Chains A and B, each alone.
Chain A
Amino acid sequence: MQRIGVFVCHCGSNIAATVDVKKVVEIISQEPSVVHCEDYQYMCSEAGQAKILDAVKEKNLSGIVVCSCSPRMHEGTFRKAAERAGLNPYMVEIANIREHCSWIHKDMEEATEKAVILARAAIAKVNLNAPLFPGESRVTKRALVIGGGIAGIQTALDIADAGYEVDIVEKTPSIGGRMSQLDKTFPTLDCSACILTPKMVEAAAHEKINIYTYSEVDKVTGFVGDFTVDIRKKARSVDMDKCTGCGVCQEKCPSKKTPSEFNRGLNNRSAIYTPFAQAIPNVPVIDRDACIKFKTGKCGLCEKVCQAGAINYDQVDEIVTEKYGAIVVATGFDTIKLDNYDEYAYNQSKDVITSLELERVMNAAGPTKGHLERLSDGKHPEHIVFVQCVGSRCNDNRGKSYCSKICCMYTAKHAMLIRDKYPDVKVTVFYIDVRTPGKNFDEFYRRAVEEYGVNYIKGQVGKVAPQPDGSLLVQASDLLDNKQIKMKADMVVLATAIEPEASVRGIATMLTASIDTNNFLTESHAKLRPVESPTAGIFLSGVCQGPKDIPETVAQAGAAAVKAIGLLAKDKLLTNPCTAKSDELLCNGCSVCANVCPYGAISYEVVQVNDHGIREDRRVARVNNALCQGCGACTVACPSGAMDLQGFSNRQIIAEVDAICR
């Protein structure tokens, strides 16, 4: 039995005006295991805390109950006081007789009776409290960034600049990501390559940054501060160290019929290729599915022309295993497939394109060398129609329920650029709402309308019909005029919804990071912890967490970096001691607890147990204290009661229930 001291706070008159504090002391003094009970004006004051210290010494207390305000207010205060008195801080429980009692009741008799019951519940709990000690775990001072787009690059640079090692894993042959595909960026219209390329170069050159391109994360184990990651370096068939990036191989390669991923399939590339001219590293890869040498065994032209002797057909995938303290996910996005949107004739007409394809069309390094032309016949268009919200804001199973956020702005950008470069081209934009929250964003959109004469029509396009003459008939509504419009266009550009990169689901599973129904990674708190995953040590950067534009992505990338740096700066992590604990003698090893753990904190191992004389090997659950956040989901899932939560144990809660119902 514990030796418990109970301290009843008046909180000035906040408690004492409604609760008969003296009477509470009188009744509670009679409780078994209570060896000390007193009341005081303000328990949280220095003098109040001193009373705890004195009582612990004089009466040799082993547990403390403070009847006062909410534990959310002063639990920490009293735990520290107990610690100063030489007690384990977790031997303190609070009976909330202010927020849950004196403030909500008027009748003194009733409130006093309730205060006594709340105190009894706290005493019953303390009787079963045990000292708890936060665990420690070490931190590997190295971060992994998954994804080499602008988000990943920025995060890596920020972490590296703070002095920590960073590895970037990028699945394509080059870093750069979606931003490298863009022509110009809003709202300032700088050339995307001009601002991105220096960052790419900086990342590549940074002594603390190590880039794995054409690589994927294969396996993740471990936990915050101590992750172990297997990175698969896919066989490039080109020796990174020998290649000089001269490009001769790509010129000579006879297989040139593979749609270029970088140009969104608008033109073709060779089998040995770098995705784009400024690629980093500037080392090509051989696409083995397209390469004649790999398909037929004959050819080998690239090997012959390579003066550096860098071509190596025998290369195999290589697994690199590294340890990290923090992992940042920056996997980015792709546009959705438009197969279900027949009405826009995307699959029927080459002149109906997505906005991302338009970026490539407008780009000097793109398939049309930057000339605005119809992809069907190369003709100069006279009229271009932009359609907003294609697959965004839908709840019809064809598209996405969310707003893709960036389309309004890039459409204004496209319209403006076209009108600027080709004043003869008529531009019509069909919109539902124009959403421009952001610095200088609405001004930008207004410029498109006012200075560049872009025709914005409120209404949605219902149908795009390719005509025999090669033009496109656009049928739409004009809601403000209450008319149905039919107009001819030469090109139609679809502001296609964006969605998280398909690979993110697998990555999230490996990281045990939670993911929402749209495949966006879930943040730990929507408002207060927007760049942290609920899984400790995992941070979110860029569109993998939700649609955002470049400035927001860069800001979030920096935020994620800071959170990661904050973690890496620590030598050791103190873990919350109120974690789940499994009794291995009771554990069935059935995995039901692991199934409900949101943190992947439970693993299984086979151990030899001595169950009352029976020695056998058993599969039992192990809770990793560094990962467990103490929610208790496992404790209820566990049928045998093997899993219990320290600080909120089954017996403690039952004791509280009993005390209340008594």
Chain B
Amino acid sequence: MQRLIDRAKELLASGEVARVLGWKKGDLGFNPEPSYFETAESLDNDFVYDGFCGANLSKYMIEASKKDGKTLVFLKPCDTYSFNQLIKEHRVDREKAYIIGVGCKGKLDIEAIKAMGVKGILEVSGADINSDCETLTVKTLYGDKEVSYNDAMLERCHVCKGKEHQICDEVMLDSRDTKDAERFAEIEKIEAMSPMEKFEFFKKELSKCIRCNACRNVCPACSCRKCVFDSNKFDEATKANVDSFEEKMFHIIRAFHVAGRCTDCGECSRVCPQGIPLHLFNRKFIKDIDTFYGEFQAGEDSETKGPLTAFTFDDVEPSIVTERG
């Protein structure tokens, strides 16, 4: 972590960058927040980088691109896909970013630790990026607990796309392979259900939705200045969770709008206060796109046309959905 601070200070001092977009220590030891740093002192005092720095900072670069001078941003390998995609959509300015690709050993989910029944968490050690990231020691109001790092990781880290940065100016710190599950396994499990089971499954999940829009607002693909669900363009401006339909409409359309653009960064599932596995929507589209139109990973580069703005003459017909049973 000190290396990150030193390098950031160096770049600030040389004038190469005007500010640093990184992480500020939280007040509970596991709730750091994204933050801008403009001075060496603030970096020394507040900067932190550990396993809990899971949020995808690429979306903040939309605003940072409007500022004068370059912003140094720390991106994990998976964040760089989003950054590329944002370049493709002209939402960020590559010239305004100095990207340090940070190695990744898997990011932690405090909710996952709580779900293990750990209560009153005060501190978590072993989450430092420099450590071997095998065991976490959790200090709580009710005694200390040990938790396996892997079990405390975010869902997305178990199906990691890889630890290669797709775009960056330099890479710092080591990575560790965290993939231990198949990306589409969950999707396949649902696909194998009967229509009634599928319907009940999603109904139950979506009935939890409180329309807080956290999934949308955190999503780097949902970068619309004004969402269709906030405008009157479709007469679909809604805030209520009146009955299950609106949630379906919202989540289907949201997934559809990001189809072919979603990099599967997993932020939507991470931030959902109700723990709805929202990635199941986006990943379904990704799986379908891969099957129907050939493998496509949004954000691998910043030029290729997305699958929904391209076509081939002999694409499958929509009836494939019925035919495959």
Contacts and interface: CB of A to CB of B under 8 A. Distances in A.
B228 A585 contact: no
A518 to B, nearest CB: 11
Given A641-B231, A641-B234, A586 B309 contact: no
Contacts of A587: 225
A590 interface: yes
B233 A641 contact: yes
A202 interface: no
B223 interface: yes
A586 B226 contact: yes
Contacts of A590: 89-91, 223
A596 B309 contact: yes
B309 A654 contact: no
B114 interface: no
A586 B231 contact: yes
Interface residues of A, number: 26
Nearest to A516: B313
Given A585-B226, A596-B309, A644 B233 contact: yes
A11 B90 CA distance: 55
Nearest to A637: B309
Contacts of A595: 305-306, 309-310
Contact of A639 (B88, B228, B235): B228
A592 interface: yes
Contacts of A199: none
Contacts of B88: 591
Contacts of B309: 592, 595-596, 637
A517 B305 CA distance: 18
Contacts of B172: none
A379 B250 CA distance: 80
Interface in A440-458: none
B145 interface: no
A606 to B, nearest CB: 10
Nearest to B228: A641
A650 interface: yes
Contacts of B313: 517
Nearest to B226: A586
A652 to B, nearest CB: 10
A619 B66 CA distance: 12
B285 to A, nearest CB: 14
A157 B306 CA distance: 44
Contacts of A655: 235
A611 interface: yes
A592 B258 CA distance: 12
A459 to B, nearest CB: 32
Q: How large is the interface on B (under 10, 10 to 19, 20 to 34, 35 or more residues)?
A: 20 to 34
A571 interface: no
Interface string B305-325: 110111001000000000000
B7 interface: no
Contact of A619 (B90, B223, B226, B306): B90
Contacts of B176: none
B224 interface: yes
A588 interface: yes
A111 to B, nearest CB: 30
Interface string A615-654: 0100100000000000000000101111010000011001
Nearest to A634: B309
Nearest to A128: B235
A258 B265 CA distance: 57
B11 to A, nearest CB: 27
Interface in A565-620: 583, 585-592, 595-596, 604, 611, 616, 619
B19 to A, nearest CB: 19
Contacts of B305: 595
Interface in B82-103: 88-91
Contacts of A616: 66
A595 B310 CA distance: 8
A590 B224 CA distance: 9
A589 B66 CA distance: 14
B292 to A, nearest CB: 18
A640 B235 contact: no
Interface string B255-290: 001100000000000000000000000000000000
Contacts of A592: 89, 306, 309
Nearest to B253: A639
B304 to A, nearest CB: 11
A591 B226 CA distance: 16
14 contacts: A517-B313, A585-B225, A587-B225, A588-B223, A588-B224, A589-B91, A591-B88, A595-B306, A595-B310, A596-B309, A639-B258, A640-B228, A641-B231, A651-B234
Given A596-B309, A639-B257, A640-B227, 19 more contacts: A585-B226, A586-B224, A586-B225, A587-B225, A588-B224, A588-B225, A590-B90, A590-B91, A591-B90, A595-B306, A637-B308, A637-B309, A639-B258, A640-B228, A641-B231, A650-B233, A651-B233, A654-B234, A654-B235
Q: Which 9 A-B pairs have the closest CB atoms?
A: A641-B233, A590-B89, A595-B309, A640-B224, A639-B257, A641-B228, A596-B309, A650-B234, A589-B90
